Amino acid sequence: MIPLVTAAGLTKKYGDLVAVAGIAFEIHEGECFGFLGPNGAGKTTTVRMIHCVSPVTSGTLTVGGLPAGIDNRALKMMTGVIPQEINLDNDLTVQENLVVFARFFDIGRKEARARIAELLRFVELEAKSGSKISELSTGMKRRLLIARALINRPRLIVADEPTTGLDPQARHLIWQRLRQLKSQGTTLVLTTQYMEEAQQLCDRIVVMYQGKILKEGIPAKLVEDEIGREVVEIRIPPEEDGKVLAELSAFPCTHERVGDTLYFYCRDGHALMRKLIELDLPNTLNRPATLEDVFLKLTGRSLHE
Ligand SMILES: Nc1ncnc2c1ncn2[C@@H]1O[C@H](COP(=O)(O)OP(=O)(O)OP(=O)(O)O)[C@@H](O)[C@H]1O
Ligand SMILES: [Mg+2]
């Protein structure tokens, strides 16, 4: 695997605030690499340095073998950006928004027309070509951001929380399109607060929290290694933990108390559930382990607190 992006000791400070605290990662050509973390983790700050709109405070960051920097036009030419904020031009139509970007990349008029038609088909917005941005739903706007990011046929796409605020159907359409791009060989850098999104799209992820990377790996393997296969949640007051833990000591599970819940991480949750039913404990739940559990275990809080 050839790394397309490499970072070492990557740091970003805003005055005294350390938004990214000396992180290291490698993003391989052709993979989907995810930054999973809650609000304020430093995801946007990191990807803004990757697509060269925010200068690095210290450390090294290279993209396609070149040092990332705000004056690096060569890198901007090979990158497509789907920003977290919907920054479309409301005074222009769908088509015109794309034309402006084509001009920025010096794409000739005829070629731009052809690409725009193809891209609007790709994101299923052909019928909206002449519409004003205000006439679009949020899902349509997010799809238009994808089309806009593709106008320069980028090798690398940076998608910063591409489905925030969307309903499941709109989210699935975007996931399909991002997967399609990946299958065509495009490298994807994704940030997300949704563990499901990370599990659906990413080959590898880093778990980010307070400017640092806590863990890195293949989503399913991270879950398997850190948690196991299943989680049993028991909602009891903390003062009852001792009694319940004594009853369950024979089970090969690890456990953790977070907030109002006692979590058991097990290979087989069913046996534990049978015992809980025997003990007549209400408010119990057995479910597959997820990346949310990994985050909870690493930080003691949930992704959406
Ligand atoms: N331009 C800025 N000036 C000062 N502080 C900033 C700036 N941009 C981000 N920060 C701070 O840096 C930290 C990381 O913010 P960042 O936007 O990278 O987080 P994030 O992981 O993208 O969060 P979210 O999921 O909410 O988008 C936060 O504490 C934020 O307040
Ligand atoms: Mg962000």
Q: Where are the beta strands (DSSP E) in 29-155?
A: 32-36, 58-63, 66-67, 79-82
Nearest ligand 1 atom to the CA of 41 is 21
Q: Report CA(85)–ligand 2 centroid distance (Å).
A: 9
| CA–CA distance, 28 with 24 (Å, rounded to integer) | 14
Distance 116 CA to ligand 1 centre (A): 33
Model confidence at 19: pLDDT above 70: yes
- Residue 15: nearest ligand to its CA? 1
pLDDT of residue 282: 81
Q: How far is Cα 56 from Cα 102, in angstroms, rounded to an integer? A: 28
Which ligand number lies closest to the CA of residue 193?
A: 1
CA dist list (Å): 238 to 242, 249, 273, 302:
8, 17, 19, 18
pLDDT at 107 (0 to 100): 96
Beta-ladder partners of 81: 158
Range 13-32 average pLDDT? 97
Ligand lying nearest the CA atom of residue 12:
1
Specify the domain boundaries for CATH 3.40.50.300 within the chain: 3-90+149-217
Largest CA distance in the chain: 74
Q: Which residues contact 305 (CB under 8 A, 6 or more apart)?
A: 38
pTM here is: 0.93
pLDDT of residue 303: 87
Coil, strand or helix at 61: strand
Tell me how far the alpha carbon of residue 293 lies from the centroid of ligand 2, in angstroms: 21
Instruction: Give the amino acid at 19.
Output: A
Q: Measured between alpha carbons, how far is 197 from 193 in angstroms, rounded to an integer?
A: 8
Residue 70: pLDDT over 90:
no
Instruction: With a cut of 70, say whether residue 149 has pLDDT above it.
Output: yes
Identify which of 212, 220, 213, 205 has the alpha carbon closest to the alpha carbon of residue 35.
205
Q: How many Å lie between the centroid of ligand 1 and the Cα of residue 191?
A: 13
* pLDDT tens digits for range 179-235: 999 999 999 999 999 999 999 999 999 999 999 999 999 999 999 999 989 999 999
Q: Tell me, what's the pLDDT at 173? A: 93
pLDDT of residue 49: 96
What's the confidence (pLDDT) of residue 223?
94
221-253 pLDDT, tens digit per residue, is 999 999 989 999 999 999 999 999 999 999 999
Q: Quickly state the pLDDT bin for 1 (edges 50, 70, 90).
A: low
Three-class secondary structure of residue 175 per DSSP: helix
pLDDT in tens, 255-274: 999 889 999 999 888 999 99
Contact 209, 41 (CB under 8 A): yes
Average pLDDT, integer, range 42-58 = 96
What is the reported pLDDT for 299? 92
3-90+149-217 domain in CATH 3.40.50.410?
no
The segment(s) of the chain belonging to CATH 3.30.70.270 are 228-288
Give the model confidence (pLDDT) of 82-99 as tens digits.
999 999 999 999 999 999
Q: Which protein residues touch ligand 1 with a CB less than 6 Å away?
A: 14, 17, 19, 37, 39-45, 84, 193
User: How many Cα atoms are found within 13 Å in the side-chain-facing hemisphere of 240?
Assistant: 12
**Strand 32-36 with 187-192, pairing:** parallel
Residue with the smallest CA separation from ligand 1 atom 24 is 39
Q: Given 3.30.70.270, 3.90.226.10, 3.90.1170.50, 3.30.910.10, which CATH number is that of 228-288? A: 3.30.70.270
Contact 159, 189 (CB under 8 A): yes
Residue 192 CB contacts under 8 Å (≥ 6 apart), including other chains: 34, 35, 36, 161, 162, 163, 198
